[in-house]
Amino acid sequence: MGKAVAKTPARVGNNVLVKTVLPFYTGRIVSISKEEIVLERAAWIADTGRFSEALARGRDALNEVEIVPPGKRVAVQRGAIISILDWHGDLPEATK
C-alpha cells in the first residue's frame, strides 16, 4: 500500500478560515507561495463567537467582521498562521 496523502484545505480555489497570531481571516485562496497565502473576498474576523458554531453555521455565527474592500487581496504571512480550516457556506460579505 502507498502512503496516504493528507488533504489540506490550503489549496488554490478553496474557501478557508485562517487562524493567525492576530485572530482570523476568511477568504478564497488565490495563490500560495513559500512566504504567504493570498486571499480574495477576504475578511478579518476579530470575534468568531463560539468557534464550533462558526465552523458549523458559517458567517451568520460570526460576532465581529471587518470586510476587505471588494477587489482587494490580503497576503497572510505563513509564519503568522496557526491553522487553516475549510470554510463551508458563503464567505462574509458585510461588516458587523
Digit-coded pLDDT (tens) for 5-31: 668 889 999 999 999 998 999 999 999
Question: Which helix H or strand E contains 53, and what residues bound it?
Answer: helix 51-57
Taking the whole predicted model, whether its pTM rises above 0.85 is answered as yes
- In angstroms, rounded to a whole number, what is the distance separating the alpha carbons of residues 31 and 29? 6
Beta-strand pair 15-20/24-32: antiparallel
Sign of the four-CA dihedral 88, 94, 95, 96: negative
Cell of 56: 458549523
Cell of 52: 464550533
Does residue 3 carry a pLDDT above 80? no
All domains of the chain, ordered by start, with CATH? Answer: 15-86 (2.30.30.100)
* pLDDT more than 90, % of the chain: 89
| 8 A C-beta contact, residue 44 and residue 62 | no
- pLDDT tens across 33-89, in order? 999 999 999 999 999 999 999 999 999 999 999 999 999 999 999 999 999 999 999
Quick one: 24 exposed, middle or buried, by C-beta within 10 A (0-12, 13-18, 19+)?
buried
